[in-house]
Chains A and B, each alone.
Chain A
Amino acid sequence: MIVAERKPLEDIKEMIAGYKKILIVGCGTCVTICWAGGEKEVAVLSSQLRLASKKNGNELEILEDTIERQCEKELVEALKDKVQQVEAVLSMGCGAGVQTIAEIFPDTPVYPALNTKFVGMPEGEGIWVETCRACGDCFLDKTGGICPIVRCAKGLLNGPCGGTNSGKCEVDPEKDCAWTLIYRRLEQQGRLDTMRKYYPPRNFQAVIRPGKVETLQA
């Protein structure tokens, strides 16, 4: 899932400074799960912005809505009535959501309330970690399911490097050395031969950015 984090309130206030009526849109998928931009977070942000406005003596009316997914044109189109009533939209979706809304309603300024961070998963309650870099050339078959592009600070395909320190990365003693993890996993599965193979330089243009995929459904 996509993991995002709400921007500091000061930044959001600056974005919507001067507007008197806005719509805050939440997204019911990834950002709901990582507690960044779901219905609840929309309500909390609205409340905070109203409090902040009151404090500064400004008037601010906020409409709220949360749609299932902001990255879907049809779902975003359903916001039409509310968007027509406001001067600006504050999206609590990921970057893809913000841009979809911006494209469907090009006359209305659309602002991002979140910083989209990465593709990842929950490690514990309230803790999400990056696990996939969307590099377009998945290497996980060779590393027992541990991604060196994300988890190795240097993104090595032939690890470890000389800085590995008792299973921890030289960059951060709290961070595991991905290649030590990969070694242990492959050893556990009796697949160390996979690690002994030499891997040639990575194709950094596997996905020509901005990426595009076109297929026919089976």
Chain B
Amino acid sequence: MKAKEAFLPDIIAFCCAQSAYQAADTAGSMRIPYPENIRVIRVPCAGRVDVLHILRAFEKGADGVLVLGCHEEACRHLSGNIRAKNRVQKLNTLLQEVGIDGERVEIFTLAPNQGFRFARIANEINERIKELGPSPVK
């Protein structure tokens, strides 16, 4: 019990510069609390995130990964968010093969002004990863 409470997941959040990163910013400036152990990495588009980035994140000890991009139809690069969705789907298979729970990675969409949504997603994932425990390959 104690060990679980002490476990602070290492979560990487790839945030699209056009939406999620700004939402994270909004959350910050509005003082909406979200877990400090979520590490935000800004990418020009969710579609820039490669399966290798996520696999390597797990190699380096991540417990969970978030990919956050624009809502469907709203991608500035037209289909980057769709590609990201397909990649996360493919990634699930790659992770299952290695014995890593697919629940550790998820993709969400949001708009630049959705500070509350960003915080809610971050909290939700944080709780989920706490439940799942540390990554089996740490």
Contact = CB atoms under 8 A, between A and B. Distances in A.
A43 B138 CA distance: 20
A50 interface: yes
- Nearest 9 pairs between A and B by C-beta? A47-B55, A9-B97, A54-B137, A55-B137, A51-B98, A51-B137, A52-B98, A48-B98, A55-B136
What bracket does the count of chain A residues touching chain B fall in? Answer: 10 to 19
A161 B138 CA distance: 59
Interface of A, secondary structure class, is helix
A140 interface: no
Interface of B: 51-52, 55-56, 58-59, 94, 97-100, 136-138
6 contacts: A9-B97, A9-B98, A40-B52, A44-B55, A48-B94, A55-B98
A10 B136 CA distance: 17
B49 to A, nearest CB: 14
Contacts of A50: 59
B50 to A, nearest CB: 8
A67 to B, nearest CB: 20
A11 to B, nearest CB: 11
A10 B138 CA distance: 20
Given A9-B97, A9-B98, A44-B94, A51 B59 contact: yes
